[in-house]
Amino acid sequence: MNNREHDPQDLMVVAGGGGFIGGHLVAALRAQGYQRIRAIDIKPVSEWYQVFDDVANCVSDLCELPACRDAVDGATAVFNLAADMGGMGFIENNKALCMLSVLINTHLLMAARDAKVTRFFYASSACVYNAEKQISEQVTPLKEEDAYPAMPEDGYGWEKLFSERMCRHFREDFGLATRVARFHNVYGPHGTWDGGREKAPAAICRKVIQAKESGGLAIEIWGNGEQTRSFTYIDDCIEGIFKITYGDCVEPLNLGSNELVSINGLVSIVEAIAGIELERSYKLDAPKGVNGRNSDNTFIRSQYDWEPTTTLRDGMQRTYDWIYQQFMQRASQPA
Ligand code: NAD
C-alpha cells in the first residue's frame, strides 16, 4: 500500500503538529494533496514552527483521553509526533516529564483503536538502544535487535521503548495497524535552536553564529567533543515516515543517516560553512549522552530499498542558513 493511493479527502491527523518534525510532516501532507489535515499541539499556535491556514490547527493537551478522542475523530491515519522532549540538556534533567509522554501515546492508541483508524505511526528514538552498546566512540552501528535486553536511556528512552511495545500489542491484540520508526538525531530548519531544548546541530549553528556576529571567536563544546553520532536531515526523516507508515513492515525500524561524525567534526563543518575558525573550550561536566551511536540501515534497506541520503554538509548548510536568518531577525527587533 502506497500513500499516493490514498484519497486526498482522507483525514490526516498530526499529533505534535506545532513541533519541528510535526510541522514538516503537515507541510509534506499538504504538498501531497491531502485536503483534510488536523494538527494538534499543546503550545499556543503563535509558538508553532509552521502554521498553515488551510489546516485545522487545534490546541489541546493530548495527555488527556477525551482530547485524544476529539483529535482522532474521523481520522484515516494518525501520526504521533507529540512528546515533551529536547536535546541531552533537557532529557537528562527532566526524566519524569519525558516519561509522562507515555500518557500521550497510550491515550492516542486507545482513541485510534476505538475510532477504527487505518494507520497509526509512532515516533520512537535511537535512545531505546541498550546503553552498554554505546560506550565507545568507535561504534558498531546499532541494529534493531540491539534494543534488547533493555537498558535504554534513563527516562526518555524507557518511555519510548514502553510505548513501542504498547504499539505492538495494540496491533496484535486489537488489530490497529501500528508502525514505529526509531529516529536518529533529526535536524533541519524550522526547529528549536535556542532556549535549552535544542539539539547539537542547532546549538552548534547558533553558537558559531553568535561567535561570528559578536567577534568573540570562541565556542564551548559539551563533553570532550569526541563523542560520535549520526544526524538525519528532516527531508529524509519525512520520506522515511511515509515509507514506514504505509509499508508492510510491522517491526520498529531505524530511521537515520549512517554518516558518522564526532561533535568536533560537526563543529568543523559549521565553521567551514560560516567561514571562520573558533577557539574551542570543553565543558566536561555538561550532559553529553552516550559516547558513540550510529544507525545500521541493513533492515530498512531490505524492507524498502531505501535509506537517508542527504549529506551532513548539505543538511547543515540549509540548517545554518535558516538559523542565521532567525538570529538576525531577532537581533534586529527592539529589546
Ligand atoms: P518537538 O519538541 O519540536 O515537537 C514535539 C511537539 O509535541 C511539541 O510541539 C510539543 O509542544 C508537543 N507536545 C508536547 N506535549 C504535548 C501534549 N501533552 N499534547 C499535545 N502536544 C504536546 O520535537 P520533534 O523533534 O519534532 O520530535 C517529534 C517526535 O520525534 C517526538 O516524539 C520525539 O521524541 C521524536 N524524536 C525526535 C528526535 C529528533 O532528533 N528531533 C529524535 C528521536 C525521536
pLDDT in tens, 222-263: 999 999 999 999 999 999 999 999 999 999 999 999 999 999
Both 180 and 38 in one domain: the answer is yes
Measured CA to CA in angstroms, residue 167 lies from 158, 195, 320 at distances of: 14, 32, 36
For a ligand 1 pocket test, name from 41, 85, 125, 159 the mutation site with the most ligand atoms within 8 angstroms of its C-beta: 85
Instruction: Dump pLDDT digits (tens) for 103-112.
Output: 999 999 999 9
Per DSSP, helices labelled H in the chain are 20-31, 65-72, 88-91, 95-100, 102-114, 156-174, 200-214, 234-246, 263-274, 298-304, 312-332
Instruction: Dump pLDDT digits (tens) for 307-330.
Output: 999 999 999 999 999 999 999 999
Instruction: Dump pLDDT digits (tens) for 77-97.
Output: 999 999 998 888 888 899 999
Both 113 and 251 in one domain: the answer is yes
The three cell numbers locating residue 143: 541494529
Residue whose CA is at the smallest distance from ligand 1 atom 9 = 19
- Amino acid code (one letter) for 36: R
Q: How far is the CA of 91 from the centre of ligand 1 (A)?
A: 12
Q: Rounded to two decimals, what is the model's pTM?
A: 0.96
Q: Is 114 contained in some domain?
A: yes
Ligand 1 touching residue 81 (CB < 6 A)? yes
Q: How far is the CA of 267 from the centre of ligand 1 (A)?
A: 25
Both 142 and 175 in one domain: the answer is yes
Q: Is 298 contained in some domain?
A: no
Q: Is 104 contained in some domain?
A: yes
Ligand 1 touching residue 61 (CB < 6 A)? yes
Locate the ligand 1 atom nearest the alpha carbon of residue 80 and give its number. Answer: 32
Q: Looking at the 3D structure of the chain, how many domains does it have?
A: 2
